[in-house]
Amino acid sequence: MYHLLIIDDNKINLSAAKNALAGNYKITAVTSGTQALRFLEHNTCDLILLDINMPEMDGFEVMGRIRSNPELSDIPIIFLTSDNDPQTESRCLEAGAMDFISKPFMQNVMLSRISRTLELEALRRDLSVQLEARTRHIKYIQDMMVLGMAAMVESRDLSTGGHIKRTSMVVKIFAERLSKEHDTLKRSFLDMVIRAAPMHDLGKIAVDDRVLRKQGKFTPEEYAEMKKHSAEGSRIVKQILEGVEEEKFVRIAENVAHYHHEKWDGTGYPDGLAGEAIPIEARIMALADVFDALVSKRCYKEAYSYDTAFSIIDSSIGTHFDPQLGRLFLKSRPELEALYNMVSIDYREDEIG
C-alpha cells in the first residue's frame, strides 16, 4: 500500500483529506513543515500532499528543504491550495510540484490526481532503472572494446605482456587507498580513473613495428618515435569516447593517455609539465605504470625485487612523482605485493613501459 504524507496546518482540512484517502492509502498527517521534516529524517513516503499557506514555513519553503535532500528529492509532491489564481498554479508547477489540488477537496478528483501521479512516478522509476541498466551495458561493451584494442596493441609489442591488465589492477588498489586518505579526491573521480587506466598506452597502435617490436634498448631516434605514443593516444581516446561518454570522463581518459610520462620536476614528456600542472589522473597512472615496469621482467633486465622497486619509487618522490601521491602509494605496498604474488609477472616490458 502506498504511503502518503499530508502536511496542512488546518486540522479540518487534514481530517477531510485523511477520511477521503484512508481506505486506499497508508496516511501520515502532520500540521507543520517542521513536523514533516522531522518525520522525513527517519522515514520516507511515496507521495506528499503539501499545503501552501502555513505559518512559520510555507509550502514552497518546505518543498525547497525536501528537494535539497538527495535522499528525499525524488518524492513526488502535490500542492494543496485554496488559491485559484492561475499564477499560483503556475508557481506550483515551476517549483517542481507534480500537480495541485484545490480546496475544498472533492474526493473523486483527489483520488484521481493522486492515482495518476503515483502511476507516473512508478513509470518514471521503471524507466530510470531500465535506462541505468542499459547505460551500464553500453559502458561494459565500450570498456570491452577498449580493452580489446589495448590487447591488440599489446600483442604487437613483443616485449609487453599483461602490462595493461596489471597496471589497471594497480590503479584500482591505489584508488582504494586514495578514496580513504586523500583529502580532495572523490570516489566518482577515482572510478573514472580506474576505467581510463587500460587506455593509457593506446597510442602505441600508431608506433611503427620496427620500434614497437624491438627487443632491446632504443636508439635516440627510436626513443623519440616511441615517445609519440602519449600524444597520439590522447587523440585516439578522444576519437573513441567523444560523443558517447560524459565530457568529464573523456577529459580524464585523454589526460591519462597524454601525460602519464610527465614528471613532477618537469623532465618528463611530451610537454615537460611540472608539479600540479600535470593532471592528477596522469600522476596516479604514472605511479602504476612505473611500478609495473620495475617489478616485471624486461628484455634487458630481470624483475626488480619489491624492496628495490619501492626504494626506487621512494627516492623518486618529488622528482618523478607527486610527493603526496607517492607517499600514499608506498603505503599500498602490502596490497600491491599480494596482487603481484597472485599474477604472473614473467613478461618483458618495452623501455617506455
Top-confidence residue, 348 or 206: 206
> So what's the pLDDT on residue 157?
59
> Residue 310's pLDDT band (boundaries 50, 70, 90)?
very high
For residue 210, how many C-alpha atoms fall within 13 Å in the half-sphere facing its CB?
A: 4
Top-confidence residue, 73 or 211: 73
Residue 311 to residues 27, 100, 207, 295, 305: CA-CA distances in angstroms? 66, 68, 32, 12, 10
- Read off the pLDDT of each residue in 320-333 and give the average, rounded to a whole number: 97
**pTM for the predicted model, two decimal places:** 0.63
Query: Angle at Cα 263 formed by Cα 260 and Cα 264, nearest 5°?
Result: 125
Top-confidence residue, 201 or 145: 201
Most confident of 109-113, 124-128, 315-319: 315-319
CA Rg value for the chain? 29
Task: State yes or no: pLDDT of 92 exceeds 90.
Answer: no
Cβ atoms of 321 and 162 within 8 Å: the answer is no
The residue behind cell 618523478 is 320
Cβ atoms of 244 and 142 within 8 Å: the answer is yes
> Residue 352's pLDDT band (boundaries 50, 70, 90)?
very low
> So what's the pLDDT on residue 164?
84
Cell of residue 17, nine digits: 483529506
* 60-64, 97-101, 214-218, 228-232, range with the lowest pLDDT: 214-218
Q: Dump pLDDT digits (tens) for 205-239.
A: 888 777 777 777 788 888 888 899 999 999 999 98
- Read off the pLDDT of each residue in 279-303 and give the average, rounded to a whole number: 89
Task: State yes or no: pLDDT of 307 exceeds 60.
Answer: yes
Top-confidence residue, 224 or 104: 224
Q: How far apart are CA 67 and CA 113, in angstroms?
A: 21
How far the first Cα of the chain sits from its last, in Å, is: 60
Task: State yes or no: pLDDT of 159 exceeds 60.
Answer: no
